[in-house]
């Protein structure tokens, strides 16, 4: 799946969070990896912007699919991130 121009711009704005990915590959990261990185390491402005771009329901779907897929994938999220966003999505995503 190709990322939209808006997602590519968002990734570029948060490029420092993807420091270990080669520049020419950053704009093609998956939504799953984007959500994981922003929820774990982004600031509140970037989280809100992610919700605006993908929609809170889509972000919640990606998040829950990822943490329920396997213990290894769940381990990619910080424990506090899982706790916080589980509560946020239970309250605001439908």
Domain spans of the chain?
A: 5-9+30-92
For the chain, percent of residues with pLDDT exceeding 90: 88
Give the chain as a 3 state SS string: CCCCHHHHHHHHHCHHHHCCCCHHHHCCCCHHHHHHHHHHHCCHHHHHHHHHHHCHHHHHHHHHHHHHHCHHHHCCCCHHHHHHHHHHHHHHCC
Q: What global pTM score does this model have?
A: 0.92
Give residue-wise pLDDT tens across range 37-77: 999 999 999 999 999 999 999 999 999 999 998 777 778 89
């Amino acid at each position: 799946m190709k990322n939209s121009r808006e997602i590519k711009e968002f990734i570029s704005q948060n490029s420092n969070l993807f420091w270990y990915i080669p520049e020419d590959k950053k704009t093609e990261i998956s939504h799953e990896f984007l959500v994981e990185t922003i929820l774990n390491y982004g600031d509140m402005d970037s989280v809100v912007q992610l919700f605006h771009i993908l929609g809170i329901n889509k972000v919640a779907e990606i998040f829950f699919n990822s943490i329920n897929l396997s213990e290894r994938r769940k381990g990619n999220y910080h424990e506090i991130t899982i706790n916080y966003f589980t509560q946020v999505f239970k309250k605001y995503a439908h």
